[in-house]
Structure 1
């Protein structure tokens, strides 16, 4: 029975680790996309950092990426940025975020 409990604990620990890693990658991706969008909006310095934080917080509204996409589409519509551009930026920044997180481990 101890072997079974050990395996169960190992799986639970791995699940928790993977979930934490996914959360960190998503938060980093949102920050990077926020900085990308801030540059499109002409924001710099603290204003850009604050805008990036607002994107991270927007992702906490509901599961998935649609809350972030909606916010970015609304904010960037006047700058000629399409939803396809935003989704491409999300994918690109997700890869960069994963790379950054994995390097920091």
Structure 2
């Protein structure tokens, strides 16, 4: 087994398999952190989106409406069910807004959610 020596003469690590295992573990941790961050950003975005839509359609029961939006997301992973739910609710309330405007709002709120998460630490 070959060990890498540092400039001060100490061993810098173990076997090549040990180094590979450490790298794999580091990559897995990084992936988990990114996945968790993505989840938190999306959850914040959905809360902001639900609040925005609730105000437009005149819903005062924000927590109930937010639960409805989240339930739509749970039916199908991704943004499409949330998008369809919001657009449908806006149309049912006769709010004159295009589907494209809703998509743009979703993008804007996603960026806002990411910034607020970064600022929160």
TM superposition score normalised by structure 1? 0.90
- Aligned residue for 2:70? 56
- Aligned residue for 2:32? 16
TM superposition score normalised by structure 2? 0.79
Aligned pair count? 103
Report if aligned partners of 1:34, 1:53 keep a CA contact under 8 Å in 2.
no
**Per-residue deviation, residues 6-52 of structure 1 (Å, max 9, x unmatched):** 100000000011001101111110110000000101223xx023212
**Per-residue deviation, residues 56-99 of structure 1 (Å, max 9, x unmatched):** 33222212211011101110012112211110110010011101
Aligned alpha-carbon RMSD (Å) = 1.2
Aligned pair partner of 1:80 in 69, 75, 96: 96
Q: Which has the higher contact order (CA 8 A, sep 6+)?
A: 1
Query: What SS does the corresponding residue of 1:60 show, helix, strand or coil?
Result: helix
Structure 1 segments, 4+ long, off by >6 Å, are none
Q: Report which of the two structures shows the higher radius of gyration computed on alpha carbons.
A: 2
Distance 1:57 1:10 in 2: 34
Give unpaired runs (5+ residues) of structure 1: none
